[in-house]
Amino acid sequence: MDTMLLRILVSTIVVSLLIFIILLIKTLLNNHMTVKAHYHIWYILYIPILAAFLPWNYFYLKEGTDYFKSLLLFHKDAPLKSERINGVDASQAPNGDLLHDFTVSVNKSTPEFVYHIFFTVWVVGVVLFVGTAVYSYYQIYQIKKSAAVVHNQKLNKLLEVCKEMVGVKRNIRLRETSLISSPITFGIFQPFIFIPSKTRETFSLNELKYVFLHELHHHKSKDLFVNYVMWIFQIIYWFNPVVWYALKRVRMDRELACDASVLNLLDESGYIEYGYTIIRFADKKYDRPFEQFAPGIGGTKKQIEQRIQCIASYSRDSLLLKWKSKVICAFLGIAVLFLAPITTVIASPNDVYQFSGKNMVYEDLSSYFKGYKGSFVLYDPSKNQYQIYNREMSEQRISPDSTYKIYSALFALESNVISPNHNKQVWDGKIYPFPEWNQNQNLATALSRSVNWYFQNTDREVGRKPLQDYYHKIKYGNEDLSGNLNSYWMESSLKISPIEQVQLLYQLEENQWGFKAENIKAVKKAILIDVQKNRQLYGKTGTGMVNRKNVNGWFIGIVDKGEDRFYFAINIQNKDGQAQGSKAAEIAKQILYHKKLY
């Protein structure tokens, strides 16, 4: 929930800043831009939305997006103030018969129910605006249903002449109806021009020519499509007054650009007649809901006043002005495109791993997960087969918690911060909640006791940039180290799915990354849990604790059975504070026993 709100917040900030930049440029460079450029510059608002779907990782911009994420995270993970000992708050999960499972609680200052309230309010607003859009379409449907075909040959001939003047070759259907008081145009795939029933009686052919020229320019400029995009903006950002103001300016600039296009086809004597035609449609029940989708020649009195002022001062654009307008729009567009990686925060696909494996067997293991949401993944390399319980959750990326320490240890070994034979770290004397932490540690004890300070020290010595390179190299989950270096793995930025956990364990065992064999061996030796006859169990638990509640439990590992190896990962989640790594290990042990693997 908080991830969704983060995206909405960040996207709101990005779009709002971009609107302010566009308004500033329009103000400062007002005399250096054509009327059409003042309208077309708003198209730049679409870039952040489109950029969210570009594969920025392939352009080597991953680190840049991670940096932006580190700046934009609006909540900090920190130990709770209660029950703190020397700055640390922690809780020990039941040991079970596998590993001691220690976990450190992180504090998310905003209660979960607050996220739900804000999200619910946003959804209600979206639903209301979608309802308004549906009602607008219903109004348009009623207009189309009531409209009659115009059989007047003079009007149809005039429309064809105007189409030729504007350069529109599509078939435009002319209809008249009593449900409107001002001409409108509608339809992207089947375009229509609707005119009021009394138009032929009250307007001359010359005035109707101006009406047709105006409506046809809306079709030529794809303004109808722009209207749909603006409605999407309004639905998503209904709560943002900056977006509302921008959309109001877009509609005004659209009409000014359309007027300028019509005037460009007329001689100076036609300017006044065109202006008088517009005035006759001023404030005739304008701004009804459907007119947000169907632009027309009319408008409110205030809008018409501004348009008449622009018509009165109209002069044809010089070649220099046109080129300056193109340069300004292009420069701003390129600048926004370079900043577009920010928008990967808005609609990042990194929360879900798109698994494309073919040899999969989906199992129903729900009887083992009573009281928990969860997933279990087992990979058998001899059959190249995945056995999966709960496909959706097996692909969902979540915090790895202490399971990351397998790879933190490996990276420390590869960076020569520690070595297989020299990996002792001296306790600094700080009193931690666990007696097992308050002593010197080596790699084996640090992993079995899940000693946070040991791996925080090695991570700092390795350094953020080399660590990031390592995570990229092994493709660890979303590869996102934008969180605090001491806690990026602990209900923070780094996330991984159960399927990826299994794949990484296999790649670790096979050393597909080209690391030193002795380092792989040292890590595997340190996570050896149990030996039974010809079977060995290797593994690491992890528990995610938020606000003193265990919400996320992991157990990942390897089973050596004779000449065969099996790789597994289990994750459980529970809002009641019972989802611990030790419980995940207990469930995994039952499943492995049932499969006669342990």
The catalytic site residues sit at 402
Locate 268 and state its tokens.
């100076």
C-alpha to C-alpha distance for 539 and 145, rounded to whole angstroms: 68
Cβ atoms of 537 and 561 closer than 8 Å: no
Q: What are phi and psi of 74, to 5 degrees?
A: -100, 0
Contacts of residue 583, Cβ cutoff 8 Å, sequence gap at least 6: 93, 94, 96, 372, 553, 572
Q: What is the dihedral of CA 344, 346, 350, 351, to 10 degrees?
A: 170
The answer to whether 303 touches 255, Cβ cutoff 8 Å, is yes
Interstrand relation of 148-149 and 173-177 (parallel, antiparallel or unpaired)? antiparallel
C-alpha to C-alpha distance for 447 and 406, rounded to whole angstroms = 8
What does the alpha-carbon distance between residue 322 and residue 206 come to, in Å, rounded to a whole number? 30
- Full 3-state SS string of 279-299: HHCECCCCCCHHHHCCCECCE
Eight-state DSSP code of residue 430:
P
**Element housing 91 (H / E):** strand 90-93
Name the helix (H) or strand (E) containing 216. helix 205-220
Q: Which of 264, 277, 265, 273 is nearest to 304 (CA)?
A: 277
Beta strands 101-106 and 148-149, pairing class:
unpaired
Of 386, 378, 377, 382, give the one whose Cα is nearest residue 359.
386
For residues 365-380, one letter each, b for 16 or more C-beta atoms within 10 angstroms of the residue's C-beta and e for the rest, the string is beebbeebebbbbbbb
Alpha carbon 431 to its chain's center: 42
Instruction: Give burial (CB, 10 Å; 0-12/13-18/19+) of 154.
Output: exposed
CA–CA distance, 300 with 317 (Å, rounded to integer)? 27
The amino acid present at 490, given as its one-letter code, is M
Residue in the structure block whose two tokens are 């959804």? 123
**What is the C-alpha end-to-end distance of the chain, expressed in Å?**
38
DSSP string, 167-213: T--S--EEEEETT-SS-EEE-SSS-EEEEETTHHHHS-HHHHHHHHH
Q: Which residues have C-beta within 8 Å of that of residue 448, sequence separation ≥ 6?
A: 99, 100, 526, 527
CA distance 598 to 592: 5
